[in-house]
Chains A and B, each alone.
Chain A
Amino acid sequence: MEFFLISLLNGVTYGLLLFMLSSGLTLIFSMMGVLNFAHASFYMLGAYFAYQISTYLGFGAALLVAPLVVGALGAVVERYGLRKAHRFGHVAELLFTFGLAFLVEEIVHLVWGKSSVDYKIPEYFDGTLFTLFSTSFPIYKGFMMLVSVGMLVALYLLLTRTRIGLIIQAALSKPDMVQALGHDVPKIFMLVFGGGTALAGLAGVIGGNAFITEPGMAAAVGSIVFVVVVVGGMGSLAGAFVASLLIGCIQTFSVGITFSVTDLAALFGVRLEDSSAVARLTVTQLAPVLPYLLMVAILIFRPRGLMGARES
């Protein structure tokens, strides 16, 4: 029971962080059709900026400023890079973000070095929020959840209660129609791209010190974020939310489950004497493959994703 509850809390915390990362990507992907390979790089930049700002002004300032800086940078990238690549079609756009991801990692090497930086959780968050049975739940994880949920609510209000939100929503499902109605779609694209990268930056600010801030952190989450977007479905923030939580929980729970094919067979009364490598695999070992398996299965059997509005 204790294990279950703690794992659930860990899974939800991680899932919420994933959602913060993927919500921006979903918006960008659905509206602009761009698979933004550099999205996780903005997450990394968020963490590094927050580290730099917090050494001078403290964590509070970093939490506010770093996402804005990242968002502004994202908008600039869209305006002066992506839009140019857009003329050459989707492949060029995609390759542009691919190259950008590459370059960002190198810039991080250049500015902050190749090892991890010492981006720490501020001291006032160092402690225990509550103790469940005997396991303590750190304040910082609670704070992460709070920020994630706060962002979720803000995003929801923005999309459903404001004019720009309604236009974005319309553009999610019918981009051509929105353009036909006379809205400045390129400007909306720039806004969405900037907003999406800002969210990734925010995820970096709170994820960077919870885990570790290093040049490899973008690559580590990069493909998982794609999984979330694909599984959740095109144009569906709700889908991305469900998929994030699902994948967060899969990854957390699978660590604790030492159940193998051999055990499964044993349940049915079959004893596998000559346990081959496949039969001995436990769920723990399978954990890294599960998200991708899910993604491929979804792409083949339900290309619109869990809650997608359209196929592509």
Chain B
Amino acid sequence: MTHRIRSTVAVGALLLAGSAFAQVKIAYIDPLSGPFANVGEAGLKGFREIADTINAKGGANGQKIEFVPFDNKGSPQESLINFKAVTDQGIRFITQGNGSGVAHALVDAVNKWNARNPDKTVLYLNYAAVDPTLTNDKCSFWHFRFDANSDMKMEAITNFMEKDKSIKKVFIIGQDYAHGHQVAKAAKAMLAKKRPDVQIVGEDLHPIGRTKDFAPYIAKIKAAGADTVITGNWGNDLSLLIKAAKDAGLKAKFHTYYAGGLGTPAAMGPAGEGLVLQLTEWHMNVQPNKAEAFATAFNKKYPGVEFYYLRVNTMMLMLAEAMNKAKSTDPKQVALTLEDMRFEADNGEVWMRKSDHQMIQPLYISIFSKVDGKAVKHEVEHTGHGFKTLASITARDSQLPTTCIMERP
């Protein structure tokens, strides 16, 4: 009884669609309240938009894709409670991206659930949790990652830094949890190998989502004399960090993973020009930009949010194709089709590596610069500035070996 109420209400949008089609439901488990609510909501809009596009073209295996949002408040424990609700409602696909702590909890839960309920398996599609262990020591057949992992990103960033001889002193700052730790560890190990002359002048971890004033940290970075800062921060933790750097007049370069959207460009404004870099699978000024039309339409439809997650599109298009190919929406069949799949995405050809379920895709390093109509055609978040590609890394070059020994059902 209650079960029925929950499901009808949760997919309130279902009534709008008013379709008689069977549906593929995907549970979206991400923060929709709390300090990272803006990130979670932007992600959900992206998923719903691409689902509409796919549904308009006939859906996946003839069925419509429907997203059911669950607010995990950014917490692993809350996510597991959500996961219980997901399995209670009979939803067979989940997606999550914000927070590797949550990702670990979910991988664990999915593995346990699938082992205990082999006839009701659930597939976990990870669009942004980048802890490398998820596709190495802790890899799972039921987990697919569509974002480059933290080590792959750091490999690309340090390759880029290797050539920049102006870098002398590096400061590493991050959020105090699995992802922040991984970034710091990888940055230190890789820089020690590629640039032994570079000095790491400091390393700081701050509580995630709780620091509102980064001025003390900036004072510390300044006192250490750093010319370059490496950070894996995301959401408000990045926006506030860069805002504090701007306020204190810190002129160091910021190598980031996530500076390209979700409020960070607006927070730094013109002060970030020539100082803030990001590593992404796509940005609005990539050449050639096959997602330009989609992104423009998206930005027009949702004022206040900008299209940011190209990998979300890639993930959904690949999932739909896998369902079409497998002629099934059973998670196991879909997983078997999805692994080793090659796909022409909007940022080039991508490949879902079979050995660890890590997607291999092209990456770009870009820098925040003034719009000039040529290399920087589009601005981000009404700042008059956009991102300019400095280096592109082919899918093949972005690969790293894996230690994954996958148990297949």
Direct contact of A and B (CB under 8 A): yes
Is B223 a contact of A3 with CB atoms below 8 Å? yes
Name the one of B35, B217, B247 contacting A136, with C-beta atoms under 8 angstroms.
Answer: B247
Is B222 a contact of A256 with CB atoms below 8 Å? no
Q: Number of contact residues on B: which range applies?
A: 20 to 34
Query: CA–CA, A135 to B212, complex, Å?
Result: 20
Interface residues of B in 238-258 (CB under 8 A from A): 240, 247-250
Q: Which of A3, A109, A288 has the most CB of B within 10 A?
A: A3
Query: CA–CA, A140 to B217, complex, Å?
Result: 19
**Is B38's CB within 8 Å of the partner chain A?**
yes
Name the one of A2, A6, A114, A141 contacting B32, with C-beta atoms under 8 angstroms.
Answer: A114
Given known contacts A115-B41, A212-B212, A252-B216, A284 and B204 CB-to-CB distance under 8 angstroms: yes
Query: CA–CA, A135 to B249, complex, Å?
Result: 6
Query: CA–CA, A210 to B32, complex, Å?
Result: 24
CB distance from A254 to the nearest CB of B (A): 8
Is A10 a contact of B38 with CB atoms below 8 Å? no
Query: CA–CA, A220 to B236, complex, Å?
Result: 15
- Chain B 192-209, CB-CB to A under 8 Å as 1, else 0, gives 000000000000100100
- Chain A 268-290, CB-CB to B under 8 Å as 1, else 0, gives 00000000000000001000100
Is A212 a contact of B240 with CB atoms below 8 Å? yes
Query: CA–CA, A213 to B240, complex, Å?
Result: 12
Is B37 a contact of A3 with CB atoms below 8 Å? no
Is B41 a contact of A256 with CB atoms below 8 Å? no
Query: CA–CA, A251 to B219, complex, Å?
Result: 13
Name the one of B38, B247, B250 contacting A116, with C-beta atoms under 8 angstroms.
Answer: B38
CB distance from B264 to the nearest CB of A (A): 13
Query: CA–CA, A186 to B95, complex, Å?
Result: 56
Is B35 a contact of A216 with CB atoms below 8 Å? yes
Q: Number of contact residues on A: which range applies?
A: 35 or more
Is A128 a contact of B249 with CB atoms below 8 Å? yes
CB distance from A113 to the nearest CB of B (A): 8
Is B222 a contact of A211 with CB atoms below 8 Å? no
Query: CA–CA, A307 to B240, complex, Å?
Result: 36
**Is A255's CB within 8 Å of the partner chain B?**
yes
Is B223 a contact of A14 with CB atoms below 8 Å? no
Given known contacts A115-B38, A116-B236, A255 and B33 CB-to-CB distance under 8 angstroms: no
Query: CA–CA, A7 to B221, complex, Å?
Result: 12
Is B34 a contact of A216 with CB atoms below 8 Å? yes
Is A255 a contact of B212 with CB atoms below 8 Å? no
**Is B213's CB within 8 Å of the partner chain A?**
yes
Given known contacts A284-B204, A288-B207, A256 and B219 CB-to-CB distance under 8 angstroms: yes
**Could you jot down 13 A-B contacts, CB within 8 Å?**
A6-B215, A6-B219, A10-B216, A116-B236, A118-B266, A136-B248, A136-B249, A211-B240, A212-B240, A214-B35, A255-B204, A255-B219, A256-B219
Given A135-B248, A138-B248, A284-B204, 6 more contacts at CB 8 Å? A6-B219, A114-B32, A135-B222, A140-B247, A212-B240, A256-B216
